[in-house]
Structure 1
């Protein structure tokens, strides 16, 4: 999910955003949320002793929404990266456009930064080896960003829209794509494409059993050309318990790796400790799993 709300200059990017937000899948796959019937996959479950932390359902049992961790339990911060590729971008990938960013992942490993990667199923289809490697690396955790990267509300940064009757299957299809790629231990977390949701979407996803994860710091890396400006925006916005939204797509966020190489040492100088989203959710839920 690519977010435009930021101070970094991206004049005219709103139209381009819709195109970039749609990228996800293998060349030749139908890649739409209206594809033929497929097995249903709800949020993965594990043994009770290792069950990932989640939030309790909201009012009327609605899918819970997490924005940031506690502000008073230490200087922790979660960097999150959206691995975006929309369902109709297979031809662009086949033509050489890069929706992955192995250099960024390499930088996170080099800097020893835990992170949460919100991955679309189409991205996992396109880059199964990378998806599998990220999922098997204990430094990272993988969570669901839908299959198609189509919006769950209307008027969401120009993204195509998933119909209400396809919302659940689009999320379940992403879990199936992760399983096919061999990604283990996928977290029961979901990030709405574009960050756009409403009560209808939260209600529709109740049976999937996920916690929706938003953020409180927008990096502004989408379509940015100034890595220093991206880094500055993050450094100015981070507070204890913050969730930072960034991107893991070279074509749509080419400066993210450079920004991260500035952000990480500066936040560490300020006493911040990097954690995965699951640690913040556990702290927010009072340590319950």
Structure 2
């Protein structure tokens, strides 16, 4: 197999523990964004993306410009695998209403990387997030199956042995997520993609080169997965944030129980330092399309 180009350790997925991961969502609560658009549904007609690499590979974005304009993007992964429907049917919840409600109450713009399977399970909540100008929805795959081998125990997208089959399945999985978003009424999903587990290699970047997406990673790991100490999570973020940072967090009640409390510490502390919260699209736009 192709050696990984970059693999970042995060708490989003730790082996088979993903089966316990929950996701985010809540009924809409009217709030204003820090910098509200002219119209509630206004979005760029052509969202900013990065230019492909010199060999045509999918571009990868990790952080915005390190400029005096102190912007930071909080991102939240809404994970649900293709195989968790039975657990949801038996009453297991994969949402976190308090986290989304807190972001709204604090007026914090955020980017939610959502799986298509989660959108299908919680269509009302997906639509609420997707139509709220405070947030933007981006693609986190349909199935949350890994795009490389050995990715924290995640199931992998099947390969027929030659590699060509898996590349087609990778593209199909991404497109299926966008289809799921449209089906539940998310009107403007962004052309951004986060690899499950953050795991990718050259073959995965090649597979998605025709999908028109920018792969979005991060430069600050919150360490919120399975953390119970909200202060420790907040310290990880506050110690790591720089101008232009992308912070990876999780909106999960069962697997990231301290996140909502940590956010209520992180937000005022960063604002006190002069930081302004933005969506990933604003950070990418600030690059002028340059990698």
Shift in Å, 1:16: 4.7
1:143-222 equivalences under 5 Å are: 143-163=138-158, 164=166, 165-222=168-225
SS in 2 for 1:212: strand
Identify the match of residue 249 of structure 1 among 241, 244, 252: 252
Would you say the 8 A contact 2:50–2:289 is kept in 1?
Answer: no
- Kindly provide the CA deviation profile for residues 219-273 of structure 1, in whole angstroms up to 9, marking residues without a partner as x: 1111111111111110000000000000112122111111100000000011100
Give the deviation of 1:48 after TM superposition.
11
**Distance in 2 between the 1:142 and 1:73 partners?**
27
CA distance in 1, matches of 2:182, 2:17: 29
User: Is there any run of 5+ residues in structure 1 with no aligned partner, and where?
Assistant: 25-46
1:280 corresponds to 2:275: no
SS in 1 for 2:203: helix
Q: How many residues align?
A: 257
Task: Find the counterpart in structure 1 of residue 54 from structure 2.
Answer: 59
Does residue 75 in structure 1 map to residue 78 in structure 2?
no
SS in structure 1 at match of 2:200:
coil
Q: 2:263 matched to 1:268?
A: no
TM-score, length-scaled by structure 2: 0.84
Long gaps (5+) in structure 2: 1-7, 24-41, 159-165
Contact 1:19-1:159 within 8 A present in 2 as well: no
Change (3 A) 1:286 1:73: farther
Superposition deviation, residue 95 in structure 1: 2.1
* Conservation of the 8 A alpha-carbon contact between 2:49 and 2:289: no
Give the drift of 1:121: 0.1
Out of 200, 216, 232, the position equivalent to 1:229 is: 232
From 75, 95, 100, give the equivalent of 2:95: 100
Q: Distance in 2 between matches of 1:93 and 1:222?
A: 20
Write the distance in 1 (CA, Å) between the matches of 2:105 and 2:214: 30
